[in-house]
Amino acid sequence: MVVGASAAGLAAAETLRREGYDGTLTLVGDEPHAPYDRPPLSKQLLSAEWDTDRLTLRSPAHLDGLDLDLRLGTAATGLDLRECEVRLADGDTVPYDALVVATGVRPRRLPGEGAHVLRTLDDALTLRERLTPGTRLVVVGAGFLGAEAAAVAWRLGAEVTLLEPAPVPLAHAVGAEVGAVLSRAHRDHGVDLRAGVTVTEVTEDGVRLADGEVVEADEVLVAVGSLPNTEWLAGSGLAVGDGVLCDRYCEAAKNVYAAGDVARWYNPLFGASMRIEHRTNAAEQGMAVARNLLAAEPAARRPFAPVPYFWSDQYDMKVQAYGHLRGHDEVTVVDGDLAERRFVAVYRTGDRVTGALAVGMPPKAIRQWRQAIASGADRSETFPPEIPVAVEEVDHGGTAARPVA
């Protein structure tokens, strides 16, 4: 049984069939839609460049060929590990021999009514209808999702205000220097980006800040992060903590695995527990879980140790990144120029290279760093001393980074 009918759940179901499993395979999804792709929601769908049919991950014929017991529009409400049963919102109880939890995440919300969020197909279509020229849109949260939506809204002619509590948007993830570059792109396009401000609630007129100021808006989009969908597992005995807690094989309990945004597993490549909300990771983890589930014996399983990858489109910028950038100690620009918003930055944690990010560069410019990350290369192997580089060292005791050279 696979609970969650998005990218991770579908990848798990497809791999089970492809690897030879021919028994009953139940796929449960809480949305009524057939499995669809989520990254375009804040990009091509929100901008009306794509119709909804382009988001569908697989054709009806393909899904039919998987011979699934497909339960769409029905949420899972409970799990009994002892009896190996999943309870559904429609009152049915489904037994399983093995279970894949792929229930994803849901958006965090703010106090007050009337704000949009952007997680589902219906969310995107509702917001798209409201983004007419001249609409005053406030986006709360300047992370990648909020930034993408702000860029699309600006292109559609909306008057956009982007509010972010951190002094430098995305600094915690990509470093202060790179975060500042991405922030300047918004201001250069006329978006009113305000950093270091906290929104306390959504009001009828817009949003209220911590100092009492009301920022007026016709529409409000809240993009302040997400929460893993684990409430349905309460009382099941399955360990949860910012996701379903798994080992290096993505196993959470005997014959129970987790994949996608909801899974927190130990990635041996980085020696860290992580939960990743990236589309590529969801599909790769779904496939890995299916193969481990079907392994003839425990020793035949393989740890899931990927080099994470994500991308973002904002205005004319293409952002691409490999690795685990959070918690880095140093950022080094190895190609291009920050001021031109065309560069490759490499991230070091301890003695090894753990990430790389490119803006406005061709894929091959960053792809070479993927192998360095995967091999655990140290700084001395990847940065010849004769190459002049711009370096940013991170002071983890403070709130910002210090440019040192």
The one-digit pLDDT tens for each residue of the chain (405 residues) are 999 999 999 999 999 999 999 999 999 999 999 999 999 999 999 999 999 999 999 999 999 999 999 999 999 999 999 999 999 999 999 999 999 999 999 999 999 999 999 999 999 999 999 999 999 999 999 999 999 999 999 999 999 999 999 999 999 889 999 999 999 999 999 999 999 999 999 999 999 999 999 999 999 999 999 999 999 999 999 999 999 999 999 999 999 999 999 999 999 999 999 999 999 999 999 999 999 999 989 999 999 999 999 999 999 999 999 999 988 999 999 999 999 999 999 999 999 999 999 999 999 999 989 999 999 877 666 655 444 445 555 444 433 332 222
Question: Which residues face 214 on adjacent strands?
Answer: 208
Q: Distance between CA 21 and CA 224 in Å, rounded?
A: 40
**pLDDT at residue 376 in the model:** 86
Tell me if 226 sits within 8 A of 208, measured CB to CB.
no
Q: Distance between CA 107 and CA 401 in Å, rounded?
A: 29
Q: Which one-letter DSSP state was computed for residue 116?
A: B
DSSP code per residue over 18-61:
HTT--S--EEEESSSSPPB-SGGGGTTTTTTSS-GGGGBSS-HH
Half-sphere exposure of 379 toward its Cβ, with a 13 Å CA cutoff?
A: 16
Domains in the chain: ranges and CATH: 2-106+226-300 (3.50.50.60), 109-222 (3.50.50.60), 316-381 (3.30.390.30)
Tell me if 68 sits within 8 A of 25, measured CB to CB.
yes
Q: Distance between CA 163 and CA 169 in Å, rounded?
A: 9
**pLDDT at residue 377 in the model:** 79
The helix-helix angle for 176-188 and 144-155 (nearest 10°) equals 20
Torsion of CA 277, 283, 288, 289, to 10 degrees: 70
Q: Which one-letter DSSP state was computed for residue 370?
A: H
**pLDDT at residue 379 in the model:** 65
The structure's pTM equals 0.92
Q: How far is CA 183 from CA 71, 176, 277, in A?
A: 43, 10, 22
Sequence letter at residue 297: E
Question: What is the distance between the terminal CA atoms of the chain, rounded to a whole angstrom?
Answer: 54
Tell me if 122 sits within 8 A of 100, measured CB to CB.
no
pLDDT one-digit tens code per residue, 82-140: 999 999 999 999 999 999 999 999 999 999 999 999 999 999 999 999 999 999 999 99
Q: Distance between CA 187 and CA 151 in Å, rounded?
A: 11
Tell me if 118 sits within 8 A of 195, measured CB to CB.
no
Q: From start to end of 282-394, where are the E strands? A: 309-314, 317-323, 330-337, 342-349, 352-359, 390-394
Distant-in-sequence, close-in-space partners of 151: CB < 8 Å, separation ≥ 6: 186, 189, 191, 313, 314, 315
| Tokens found for residue 97 | 């021999």
HEC secondary structure over 229-245:
CCHHHCCCCCCECCCEE
The helix-helix angle for 279-294 and 7-18 (nearest 10°) equals 40
- Residue keyed to tokens 């290369």: 377
Query: Residue 395, SS3?
Result: coil
pLDDT one-digit tens code per residue, 271-302: 999 999 999 999 999 999 999 999 989 999 99
Torsion of CA 347, 348, 349, 355, to 10 degrees: 40
DSSP code per residue over 136-187:
EEEEE--SHHHHHHHHHHHHTT-EEEEEESSSSTTHHHH-HHHHHHHHHHHH
Q: Distance between CA 2 and CA 256 in Å, rounded?
A: 10
Tell me if 108 sits within 8 A of 221, measured CB to CB.
no
| Tokens found for residue 89 | 């919102």
**pLDDT at residue 85 in the model:** 98
